Amino acid sequence: MTNHDTDSTAIPGAGTPLRTGTASSHGKTILIGEHAVVYGVPALVLPVLDVRVTATATPVEPDAGSRLESTVHTGPLDTAPAAVLPTVTAVTATLRHLGVPDQHLHVRVDSAVPTARGMGSSAAVAAAVTAAVADVFGRTLDPEEHHELVQECERVAHGRPSGLDARGVVADVPVWFEDGLVEPVPLGAAFTFVVADTGVPGHTREAVTAVRERHDRDPQAVDAVVSAIGDLARRARGTLVDGDAQALGATMDAAHELLSELDVSSTDLDRLVDAARRADALGAKLTGGGRGGCVLALVADGEHADRVAAALRDAGATETWTTTIGARA
């Protein structure tokens, strides 16, 4: 997460000069643990550092009114449609938190994070906007107050957010979630991933409901799969710390098979996973809620990433992104 200030602007009647605030965040994926985390097992969230959101917040005169400029809605903040209500909340909640609810702003959002793909779009936008609004007043939000503001926006977007997205979109290393514990995972080496979009929106709510219904019918079978996914998450954490990409790839492959057992994969996801493996990806799996959305593939390096991304596009991926975490050459 980055933020910095640009030129200062004096606002008539404001009393003190304010400035245009700027901040950015990024996407995220789940490395290991989707669905199983609902049942109390650990999960690893992976930042996608190269898929970014940038927000700017510029003070305007009171009679101009607050405005939002984005690909979803451009116009007055107070007439914005429901689709951008989480973004509106990011502005109004931050102003309220700072004690300046009557300040008017022009907020622009430029986002490369796709929606409904399990990459944390709403949280990433909220993280960038809240930080940019604070930056107008020369404030840098501390991590916990920032998290709470993003969670307020996420409650508008999703009802009862777990916090995985809110943490992942501001982290620069993987984040571990277990029994209320949230902590960064140190990396023993650089890891490069390719994210591929099936072009089909994820159906997280549908998939979660299906797993819940299956658990109600056969709790022993589902609990066994959930427990195995938790074991893989613990193993994956160790491979990250050790810098063992080959072992991490094998763990990802195993996780995809378990998620397929839970019936949350799809023909589109399986086709991309198979394409990544045929291109010698070190490992590949669906990421997020499933039944659409994205595939995550681990690759050896940047050149390998190009080959895997091309193979994924040939197999039907509508878009691919490459991201590296850890030390860069």
Dist CA 209 CA 319 (whole Å): 28
Structure tokens, 184 = 């960064």
Q: Give the separation between CA 123 and CA 130, rounded to whole angstroms.
A: 10
Active site residue 165: yes
Per the rule left: phi > 0, alpha: psi between -120 and 50, beta: everything else, 263 is left
Distance CA(27)–CA(165), nearest Å, equals: 9
Phi/psi at 292 (5° precision): 130, -175
Catalytic residue among 135, 165, 253, 268: 165
Q: Which of 299, 289, 294 is nearest to 316 (CA)?
A: 294
Neighbours of 253 (CB within 10 A): 19
> How far is the C-alpha of 11 from the C-alpha of 4, rounded, in Å?
19
Q: How many CB atoms lie within 10 A of CB 275?
A: 23
For 166-318, list the strands marked E by DSSP. Answer: 175-178, 181-184, 191-197, 283-287, 294-299
Cα–Cα distance between 197 and 294 in angstroms, integer?
5
Q: At what angle do helices 121-136 and 143-158 cross, to 10 degrees?
A: 130
Cα(95)–Cα(291) distance, integer angstroms: 38
Closest to 196 measured CA to CA, from 80, 118, 107 = 118
- Enumerate the active-site residues: 165
